[in-house]
Chains A and B, each alone.
Chain A
Amino acid sequence: RKEVEQDPGPFNVPEGATVAFNCTYSNSASQSFFWYRQDCRKEPKLLMSVYSSGNEDGRFTAQLNRASQYISLLIRDSKLSDSATYLCVVRLTGGFKTIFGAGTRLFVKA
């Protein structure tokens, strides 16, 4: 079983739609949580951190449920430019080992 699991998709949605991605992790030493975005044939870039209280950045909302070991990302009012792969990322206690999920692909169509 992978330590960080994501639905690979792809998710095909029209512009303006709301889409949600889920992620589960299995390592109890998981300390910090992130969503990264990766465009085709490019490097990953940090989208946002995920906090237990939930946090929002514009159209993006991230949630963490430590008891269920579950992380989510909600994108509202999808734009064509949101088309990318979204990586769920977990950093273990100690700060140096980071585990990446395989990613969920999103296509937003006009």
Chain B
Amino acid sequence: NAGVTQTPKFQVLKTGQSMTLQCAQDMNHNSMYWYRQDPGMGLRLIYYSASEGTTDKGEVPNGYNVSRLNKREFSLRLESAAPSQTSVYFCASTNRGGYEQYFGPGTRLTVT
């Protein structure tokens, strides 16, 4: 039981490049989330998916798109990376009750 997995662990992009961050969970959770964490800011919600087939914007969605590919997988896409998107990105999932969020190990992204 791997929990929540994320790939890649580290990535360096040039401004304007695109990439997709992958997230998968094997806990049969309904809801999945993408956050970014910046120093002094706490985790901020980018997008979430309450259940398979639905996605909604969070606090900071600009510059990102998401896909809930199936119940297990929720990907985050940066279409044209900007230096302001340098951050640590965490994927999380919760069960139906939403009691506890389980996080992946994070992706450290640097945009130069």
Contacts and interface: CB of A to CB of B under 8 A. Distances in A.
Please classify how large the interface on chain B is, using the bins under 10, 10 to 19, 20 to 34, 35 or more.
Answer: 20 to 34
Contacts of A99: 42, 45
B58 to A, nearest CB: 7
Interface stretch (A12-20, A40-48, A56-64, A74-82): A40-48
12 contacts: A2-B42, A4-B42, A32-B99, A34-B100, A42-B105, A43-B90, A44-B43, A44-B101, A45-B103, A46-B100, A96-B48, A97-B48
Interface of A: 2, 4, 8, 32, 34, 42-46, 49, 87, 91, 95-103
A43 B45 contact: no
Most B-side CB within 10 Å, residue of A2, A34, A43, A103: A43
Top 8 nearest A-B pairs (CB, nearest first) are A43-B103, A102-B42, A100-B43, A100-B42, A95-B98, A46-B100, A96-B50, A101-B42
A37 to B, nearest CB: 11
Given A96-B31, A96-B48, A97-B58, A43 B105 contact: yes
A55 to B, nearest CB: 14
B90 A91 contact: no
B106 A43 contact: yes
Contacts of B101: 44, 46, 98
A101 B40 CA distance: 9
